[in-house]
Structure 1
Amino acid sequence: MTTATLLGSEVPRLATPPARELTPETTRGFECIEFAEEVLGLELMPWQKWVLLHGLELADDGSFRFRTLLVLTSRQCGKSTLLQVLALWRMYVDGAPLVLGTAQNLGLAEETWTGALQMAESVPELAREVAHVSRTNGDKFMRLTSGERYKVAAATRSGGRGLSSDLVLLDELREHHNWEAWSAITKTTLARPAPQVLGFSNAGDKSSVVLASLREKALASAADRNTTLGIFEWSAPDGCALDDRAAWAQANPALGHRMSEQAIASALEVDPEEVFRTEVLCQWVEAVDAAIAPAAWASLADANAERGTGAVFALDVAPDHSSASLAVAWRRPDGSSHVVLADHREGVEWVIARCAEVLSTWGGKLLVEQTGTAAFLLPQLQQAAPSSSSQLFAQDRSEIGSFGFFPSAQASQGGVEAVSRRFYVDACSALDAAVAAGQVRHGNQPELNSAVAVARWSTSGDAGQRVLSRKDSRVSPLVAATLALHGLTLPVPSNGGQFLFL
């Protein structure tokens, strides 16, 4: 008895339908497929042909219907081949003056570009039309004798600025954690007569803000025949079982063509659930490779905390100075630690006065990492702390109360203490251990919870110790909380204030 090979779905589970019947007169997909198969010698998979037929649908004026198109599938299904085919077809057949390829990892965009160049060079009639190739790092492009170019650009706030593009290829769109790169790169198409921005990716998580927003808008407008935003998504249904073979086929259109069931089954054996769901089932998850599991963090919430003494404050500033966070930690009567944000605001102009206020009110310590993003404020903080008084900032006292506690009449003057990079490394290890052991509680504040949702580990030093990455500005509240919690291991101030909670 033989078992039939499980084939991936040709048709996406979620898709913007065509505005009319697709024929050689209403889509240029047919000629692009012919170019891929007859000129490039490729054997396209059914799902790749489906994307080309539907993605290159024409509007009534002859331009492409979709100015922006999202294509989502699981990993290793052949997205790169589609990118290369589209780039070469637009250059050689359509005569597009500039194709711009980009990815959050520049090396990935360059790899796709290199593959397209090799395709062109392997076909004598195409190779003869290649006038110049630049392989210079940071300036890779190929130019045809008729002037068309395929250029690689970094996915940054300056990527593509000054250029005018006819086709923008955005790979791994899930890695765009803010709108800076999208804003810079996609606006290169505004003045072109028949532009397209194509975003390719697998599913994302909470940090994938650009992809999440575009996907939501595309699904909401899918029934609108006049929409210029399209989505083709091969994904498993939400909540499906991990071993559901039918769901595998829906998310992996290359299954049975270039991918085997055995490969997926093997991934299921070794992958954490959140990794398998996003990478293999193309499903959205809270976080992938999160520094702190969202469920574990949620279980440690305690918005109505017990009283505590020995306040330790810590300050962190986002790398781009877009915001600053002031956290406070203390020991609970049960022996565990508790941390809340005492303040979190945009900019840094408010920091000096606010820190002086809490120290004059509560006493204790204010920790600032001497090589960290808030270090530039250390001189001002150290100068302001000794001369501050509780009366000086009485007008802002209501903000302290908004975090659920009030100053004690016993409060005394505190001090600013610079801590080393090594302190931060140890603080990150201590946070990891405390969360795992359930020895820390938090105030369940949205800003802190959001920071946890996007927090990722990076490595520090030759020993490869894990620390919270600061690349994402939104993680700053968690960095402040981490420093404050570890500050509880320092000598306790002789006369700090007492927290009185509502």
Structure 2
Amino acid sequence: MGTPLKPSDPYEVFSTRRDEALKGGSAGLLYVEFSADKDANSDDRRQWAVANPSYPHRTGESAILRMKKNLGDDSLRREGLGIWDETTISSAIDPRLWANGTVETRADGGVISFCIDMSPDRSALAIGACMKYLDGTAHIELAEYRDTKKHGTAWDADWIEQRWPKTAAVVIDAQSPAMVLLPELKSRGMKVMVNTINGMGQACGCVLDMLTAGTLKHLSDADQPQLATAVANATTRPIGKSGAFGWNKTGSDIDISLLVACTMALQGAWITRRNPNRWQHVMQ
């Protein structure tokens, strides 16, 4: 027994049994599903009754409205209306290529860059990191990820400032809510690269190209599960008409700001002219 799960949940066994039942089933299998129409309006009371036989006598209208308020529309459609996500949309990043880039530890000897990104609802702040090496390879990882309701955003400037002397670039995308942090970072003497729409397209393409070439590494999914979830649930959206694309997400309850932060950190590492290692050598 259960409800449709999020795309990020490990539900292969559940979905396989459902697919088998919808195709006619097999001996010994009984499958019963209560679900609203796929294109149902989540405010349609008639669809509530289709999905939930206990509505409105045992499960009242106020209970479902409370669920919608607490869970959001995507989760209500799954948990309250029994609507399964479409599974025809494949991840933008091939799981095999991503797995092939896994390393146990990050190699030393490179120059590091950061990107700050914030989820569209401003609920979380992510800092992605990229270590670029002289041989043209790179390593990306999630450096920091915090709930803004618990931790706010003021910590970010302190975090970056502590690492600034050894940092090649700090990037914020021009379309990101994280742009609100730009004045504070600049007031502390840190130079921030503001990324453009074209830069986003170049960065996302670079991630796929480097994964394909085997020149982009990252920690294991077990070590960075939040980033792994973002990668597994990232699709693409077109940017302009030249074939460029940016990352998109499969649902409103998926946060891909972590992947965006790592992607833009990679972009910053490739286009910055700042070399903190050279600066340190001169100072010595």
Same fold (TM over 0.5): yes
* Structure 2 CA distance for aligned equivalents of residues 377 and 463 of structure 1: 31
Code of the residue aligned with 2:200 in structure 1: it is Y
* Structure 2 CA distance for aligned equivalents of residues 492 and 456 of structure 1: 31
Native 8 Å contact 1:363 1:415 kept in 2: no
Native 8 Å contact 1:369 1:418 kept in 2: yes
Q: 1:182–1:325: structure 2 CA closer, same or farther, 3 Å change rule?
A: closer
Matching of residues 42-121 of structure 1 within 5 Å: 69-70=33-34, 103=38, 108-109=39-40
Residue 24 of structure 2 aligns to a residue whose secondary structure is coil
Native 8 Å contact 2:200 2:264 kept in 1: yes
Code of the residue aligned with 2:194 in structure 1: it is A
Q: 1:182–1:335: structure 2 CA closer, same or farther, 3 Å change rule?
A: closer
Code of the residue aligned with 1:356 in structure 2: it is E
Other-structure match for 1:366: 170
Structure 2: tracts of 5 or more residues without a match: 1-22, 53-69
Deviation at 1:169, TM superposition (A): 4.2
Q: 1:166–1:329: structure 2 CA closer, same or farther, 3 Å change rule?
A: closer
Code of the residue aligned with 1:355 in structure 2: it is I
Residue 247 of structure 2 corresponds to residue 468 of structure 1: yes
Other-structure match for 2:120: 319
Other-structure match for 1:477: 258
Structure 2 residue corresponding to 1:487, chosen from 251, 254, 268: 268
Deviation at 1:337, TM superposition (A): 0.9
Q: 1:328–1:165: structure 2 CA closer, same or farther, 3 Å change rule?
A: closer
Other-structure match for 2:72: 180
Overall identity of the aligned pairs, in %: 24
Deviation at 1:203, TM superposition (A): 7.6
* Structure 1 CA distance for aligned equivalents of residues 74 and 204 of structure 2: 32
Tell me the TM-score normalized by structure 2: 0.69
Deviation string 1:83-102 (CA, Å, 9 cap, x unpaired) is xxxxxxxxxxxxxxxxxx66
Residue 225 of structure 2 corresponds to residue 446 of structure 1: yes
Other-structure match for 2:180: 376
Native 8 Å contact 1:340 1:442 kept in 2: yes
Other-structure match for 1:302: 103
Code of the residue aligned with 1:469 in structure 2: it is N
* Structure 2 CA distance for aligned equivalents of residues 485 and 341 of structure 1: 12
Deviation at 1:323, TM superposition (A): 1.1
* Structure 2 CA distance for aligned equivalents of residues 316 and 483 of structure 1: 9
Structure 1: tracts of 5 or more residues without a match: 1-7, 17-50, 52-68, 72-100, 110-152, 171-177, 188-196, 205-274, 276-287, 387-413
Deviation string 1:412-465 (CA, Å, 9 cap, x unpaired) is xx5222121211111111111111111101122222222111111111223352
Other-structure match for 1:459: 238
Native 8 Å contact 1:365 1:416 kept in 2: yes
Structure 1 residue corresponding to 2:82, chosen from 195, 199, 213: 199
* Structure 2 CA distance for aligned equivalents of residues 339 and 10 of structure 1: 44
Deviation at 1:10, TM superposition (A): 6.1
Other-structure match for 2:195: 419
* Structure 2 CA distance for aligned equivalents of residues 463 and 306 of structure 1: 36
Other-structure match for 1:429: 205
Matching of residues 207-286 of structure 1 within 5 Å: none
Provide the aligned length of Structure 1 versus Structure 2: 233
Native 8 Å contact 2:236 2:245 kept in 1: yes
Native 8 Å contact 1:310 1:492 kept in 2: no
Q: 1:164–1:419: structure 2 CA closer, same or farther, 3 Å change rule?
A: same
* Structure 1 CA distance for aligned equivalents of residues 108 and 131 of structure 2: 9
Structure 1 residue corresponding to 2:30, chosen from 15, 26, 35: 15
* Structure 1 CA distance for aligned equivalents of residues 267 and 217 of structure 2: 13
Deviation at 1:483, TM superposition (A): 0.5
Other-structure match for 1:290: 91
Q: 1:202–1:313: structure 2 CA closer, same or farther, 3 Å change rule?
A: closer
Native 8 Å contact 2:138 2:217 kept in 1: yes
Native 8 Å contact 2:113 2:131 kept in 1: yes
Q: 1:483–1:186: structure 2 CA closer, same or farther, 3 Å change rule?
A: closer
Code of the residue aligned with 1:431 in structure 2: it is V
Residue 139 of structure 2 corresponds to residue 338 of structure 1: yes
Residue 156 of structure 2 corresponds to residue 355 of structure 1: no
* Structure 2 CA distance for aligned equivalents of residues 428 and 185 of structure 1: 31
Native 8 Å contact 2:101 2:218 kept in 1: yes
Q: 1:181–1:495: structure 2 CA closer, same or farther, 3 Å change rule?
A: closer
Higher relative contact order (CA 8 A, sep 6+): 2
Deviation string 1:9-43 (CA, Å, 9 cap, x unpaired) is 36687436xxxxxxxxxxxxxxxxxxxxxxxxxxx
Residue 335 of structure 1 aligns to a residue whose secondary structure is coil
Native 8 Å contact 1:316 1:325 kept in 2: yes
Residue 49 of structure 2 corresponds to residue 167 of structure 1: yes
Deviation string 1:265-320 (CA, Å, 9 cap, x unpaired) is xxxxxxxxxx6xxxxxxxxxxxx511111221111011322213322111111111
* Structure 1 CA distance for aligned equivalents of residues 245 and 28 of structure 2: 39
Tell me the TM-score normalized by structure 1: 0.41
Code of the residue aligned with 2:268 in structure 1: it is G
Structure possessing the higher radius of gyration over alpha carbons? 1
Deviation at 1:357, TM superposition (A): 2.5
Native 8 Å contact 1:315 1:374 kept in 2: yes
* Structure 1 CA distance for aligned equivalents of residues 86 and 174 of structure 2: 39
Other-structure match for 1:98: none
* Structure 1 CA distance for aligned equivalents of residues 244 and 110 of structure 2: 31
Deviation at 1:334, TM superposition (A): 4.2
Native 8 Å contact 2:120 2:176 kept in 1: no
